Amino acid sequence: MNLRDAATGRPSRDKWIPYWFAAATLTLHLLTNSGYGYFRDELYFIACSRNLDFGYVDMSPLCAWILRVQTTLFGSSLQALRLFPAIAHSIAVVLTGELMRGMGGRTWAVALGCTASMAAMVYLALGSFYSMNVFEPLFWTGCAYLLVRIINGASPRLWLWFGVLAGFGFLNKHSFAFFGIGIVVALLLTPDRRHLRQCWIYMGGIIAGAIALPNLLWQIRHDWPTLELLRNVARSDKNVVLGPAQFVAQQILIMNPATLPLWLGGLVWLLAGREGRRYRLLALAYLFTLAEFILMHGKHYYLAPVYPILFAAGGVALERLFAIRMRWVKPALAAAIIVLAALLAPTILPILPPDKVMAYMRAIHFEPPRTETAHTAALPQHFADRFGWEEMVRSVARAYAALTPEDQRRAGIFCQNYGQAGAIDFFGPKYGLPAAISGHQNYYLWGPREYTGELLLVLDWPGGEEAEQFRSVEDLGVVDSSRWAMPFEQRVHIYLCRDLKLPLRNLWPDVKKWL
CB 441 within 8 A of CB 415: no
Please report the sign of the dihedral spanned by the C-alpha atoms of residue 195, residue 199, residue 205, residue 208.
negative
Give the pLDDT confidence score for residue 332 in this predicted structure: 95
Beta bridge partners of 459: 494
Coil, strand or helix at 4? strand
499 phi, psi to nearest 5 deg: 60, 75
Residue 76 to residues 33, 79, 353, 413, Cα–Cα distance (Å) = 14, 8, 23, 23
> What are the domain boundaries of the chain?
13-33+82-223+238-347, 389-511
Give the pLDDT confidence score for residue 242 in this predicted structure: 85
- Strand order through the sheet with 493-500: 436-438, 412-415, 455-460, 493-500, 470-478
Residues near 50 by beta carbon (within 8 Å), at least 6 away in sequence: 68, 425
Torsion on CA atoms 83, 85, 90, 96, rounded to nearest 10:
160
Beta bridge partners of 493: 460, 478
CB 382 within 8 A of CB 39: yes
Pairing of strands 412-415, 455-460: parallel
CA 296, chain centre distance (Å) = 18
Instruction: Return per-residue pLDDT of the chain as tens, 515 residues.
Output: 444 444 334 345 678 899 999 999 999 999 998 889 999 999 999 999 999 999 999 999 999 999 999 999 999 999 999 999 999 999 999 999 999 999 998 899 999 999 999 999 999 999 999 999 999 999 999 999 999 999 999 999 999 999 999 999 999 999 999 999 999 999 999 999 999 999 999 999 999 999 999 999 999 999 999 999 999 988 887 777 888 999 999 999 999 999 999 999 999 999 999 899 999 999 999 999 999 999 988 899 999 999 999 999 999 999 988 887 888 889 999 999 999 999 999 999 999 999 999 999 999 988 877 776 566 678 889 999 999 999 999 999 999 999 999 999 999 999 999 999 999 999 999 999 999 999 999 999 999 999 999 999 999 999 889 999 999 999 999 999 999 999 889 999 999 999 999 999 999 999 999 99
Q: Note the maximum CA span of the chain.
A: 84
Half-sphere exposure of 196 (CA within 13 A, CB side): 11
Residue 491 to residues 346, 370, 419, 478, 483, Cα–Cα distance (Å) = 28, 21, 15, 6, 11
Q: What is the 3-state secondary structure (H, E, C) of 321-362?
A: HCCCCCCCHHHHHHHHHHHHHHHHHHHCCCCCCHHHHHHHHH
